Structure 1
């Protein structure tokens, strides 16, 4: 008998959804447009180093060895297009006006003063060991340190700014090291080939492997789970609106006076919207697998992971449904539920790491993110897709999502009983 009532409740929810075809289209189409747009934008950003170059202003007032080395390194990076027909003043004005992202100004006599500085310091060191050297050079005061001026557009991303500054610092550091090494060679009379002097320490990235192939994370692997989760939680809006409609149209009154317990109506909604969540997930995965390769994007690889991903989708769907039921139960009008539901989903997405990675947030926001159901779902997806975890590895996140559903539904049932108590 209980199963029959649950079935009838499920049919009722399907009929309600059929009356709002526009809302259903939005639920399915809006996330697909989001995932395609965001992934294309981010992938083009990731490929920027391989594709179009960033125009920057390069002013060489030194016109000698060091400045030519820096210019050659920038050109060889295949990232920048160097523009040279500027004075420092015009470059500053152009960059600060937002016409260009940055300008690099190499000061006059940089090579000459760097050589003099290094020769003086090396001579001092050699003399301190009691070795013969040019005493005149040792007594000569070292020139003042030179500054390479970097101008950045005030709207430039801080990550890009730090990356460029680190690159310039590295170039200058390597040039100084080679010159210092050469100066010691000259003083000590050795003839070792500088080209053979390699770094004693280097970096090697160790990546996960699939067979013999390295598994390299890409924009698709990040965006498909993130925007799938956003789509799942966006069902909060139609679900809460339908609950408010039931109250305004008297459906909830008929449900209360019927012999069917209220929690059965909640279960009917849960099963209905869980199906919607799974359909959303399958559509997103289908776009990642079949459509993205035609758009010059990496294909979304779910081989051997589909079962685990569907499990995460079901539990994330439960959390979203619980939140929607709570909102629809508390709200009195559609004007309350619709904007608050949409806004709260965007806020949860921001807190949960959908928009900005959690590790980039301030410390107190990182703490808040740990209590976001979207963050639990996102971590579970990432653990499966990027870290190759199994169900055991995401058990904690699944438990949190299920407890969130139980808590929100329990509060909704308690609130409903209290509001209608005679």
Structure 2
């Protein structure tokens, strides 16, 4: 009997949704437009080796060994496109005006001064060991460090600045090391080739699928993240639906009918849960079949579809629970719609949809642990990027289900208290 009542409640929700075809289209189409737009914008960030190059201004006032070495390394990085038709004044104007991200200015006589500095220091060191050197060649080093001037657009991200400065420092350090080795070799008169090859190197160990490295890309990050955002955005139509029922008297008829009120809530849960799953499947379909035609990586879900749908179901339950609570507490659509939309955006920001949690301040990282979007996102990433199974996402699934239970329980308690005679 209860199953029949649940079925009738489900049919009622379907009929209500059919009255707003435009709203249903928006629920499904807008997330697809969002995921395509965001993925296209962010794809170059993930294409480290084949993305579009960043144009930067390179001014070589040295035109010698060291400046040529720096220029060659910048060109070989496959990250920058060097523009050389500028002087320092025009470069400063262009960069500070926002036309280019940055400019690198190599000072005059950089190679000559560095060579002189290194030779002087090496001769002093060698003579301190009592070895014969050309004493006339030993000079007191009074030259100051040479400045490679970097101009950055004031709107440039601070992390980009730090990365470029670290890269330039590394290049200069390696060049100086080579010259110091060469100077010692010349002073000692040795014929042995003293190569300053690195004794320590970094080797990244990546997950493998067969013999192929599995590298993260924009699609793997964006499909689950924005699918989760779309799932939680059903909070808005669901809460509006509940507010309409209160204003039209439907909720009163539901309470006085022989059907328990929780069956009414379960009917909504089943209906909107189906919508959540359809939303996710549409986004996965776009990732698999549409993205390759847009020169984007294909979304790989081989062997992962079942756990992904399980996460979607529990994430949908969490979103539905929040929507039920909001629709129960709100008295008007003017309350539920703006608050629902704003709260979903806030939960997305806290949960790591827009900014990775590890980049947040410490207290925000703590808050993120209590966001249902963060639980869902971690579960998706565990499956897609970390190759976890159901056991690896059990904690997140339990949290999402408990969140649903808590939201619905509070809603039922509030509804009963408000309508107590």
TM-score (norm 2): 0.97
Q: Which of 360-369 and 82-91 deviates more?
A: 82-91
SS in 2 for 1:395: helix
Match of 1:146 in 2: 146
When the two chains are superposed, the root-mean-square deviation of aligned CA atoms in Å is: 1.4
> 1:49: Cα distance to partner?
5.1
Q: Which of 386-395 and 84-93 deviates more?
A: 84-93
Would the aligned equivalents of 2:45 and 2:51 in 1 still touch at CA under 8 Å? no
Q: Which of 118-127 and 25-34 deviates more?
A: 118-127
**Does the alignment pair 1:406 with 2:405?**
yes
**Does the alignment pair 1:273 with 2:272?**
yes
**Cα shift readout 1:166-217 (whole Å, capped 9, x = no counterpart):** 21111111110100000000111112346x5422221111111111111111
Q: Which of 129-138 and 408-417 deviates more?
A: 129-138
Would the aligned equivalents of 2:181 and 2:196 in 1 still touch at CA under 8 Å? no
Match of 2:182 in 1: 182
Would the aligned equivalents of 1:120 and 1:142 in 2 still touch at CA under 8 Å? no
Q: Which runs of 5+ in 2 are unaligned?
A: none
**Cα shift readout 1:213-266 (whole Å, capped 9, x = no counterpart):** 111111111111101101110110110000000000000000111121111111
Match of 1:392 in 2: 391
How many positions carry a matched residue from both structures?
421
Match of 1:356 in 2: 355
Whole-angstrom distance in 2 between the partners of 1:298 and 1:73 = 29
> 1:77: Cα distance to partner?
2.4
The 5 A counterparts of 1:10-409 are 10-47=10-47, 50-193=50-193, 197-409=196-408
SS in 1 for 2:47: helix
> 1:134: Cα distance to partner?
2.8
Whole-angstrom distance in 2 between the partners of 1:38 and 1:192 = 56
Whole-angstrom distance in 2 between the partners of 1:324 and 1:70 = 57
Whole-angstrom distance in 1 between the partners of 2:24 and 2:228 = 17
Would the aligned equivalents of 1:220 and 1:299 in 2 still touch at CA under 8 Å? yes
Would the aligned equivalents of 2:121 and 2:141 in 1 still touch at CA under 8 Å? no
**Cα shift readout 1:327-380 (whole Å, capped 9, x = no counterpart):** 000111111111111111111111101111111111111111111000000000
Would the aligned equivalents of 1:10 and 1:268 in 2 still touch at CA under 8 Å? yes
Whole-angstrom distance in 2 between the partners of 1:410 and 1:189 = 85
Q: 1:396 to 1:110 in 2, by over 3 A?
A: same
> 1:86: Cα distance to partner?
2.4
**Cα shift readout 1:269-292 (whole Å, capped 9, x = no counterpart):** 111111111111111111111111
Would the aligned equivalents of 1:232 and 1:280 in 2 still touch at CA under 8 Å? yes
> 1:12: Cα distance to partner?
0.9
Would the aligned equivalents of 1:152 and 1:161 in 2 still touch at CA under 8 Å? yes
> 1:87: Cα distance to partner?
2.5
> 1:139: Cα distance to partner?
4.2
Would the aligned equivalents of 1:241 and 1:334 in 2 still touch at CA under 8 Å? yes
Whole-angstrom distance in 2 between the partners of 1:414 and 1:22 = 33
Whole-angstrom distance in 2 between the partners of 1:3 and 1:77 = 64
Whole-angstrom distance in 2 between the partners of 1:47 and 1:389 = 25
Would the aligned equivalents of 2:235 and 2:340 in 1 still touch at CA under 8 Å? yes
Whole-angstrom distance in 2 between the partners of 1:391 and 1:242 = 34
SS in 2 for 1:35: helix
Would the aligned equivalents of 1:116 and 1:143 in 2 still touch at CA under 8 Å? no
Whole-angstrom distance in 2 between the partners of 1:53 and 1:279 = 38
Would the aligned equivalents of 1:116 and 1:142 in 2 still touch at CA under 8 Å? no
> 1:32: Cα distance to partner?
0.6
SS in 1 for 2:62: coil
> 1:136: Cα distance to partner?
3.5
SS in 2 for 1:115: helix
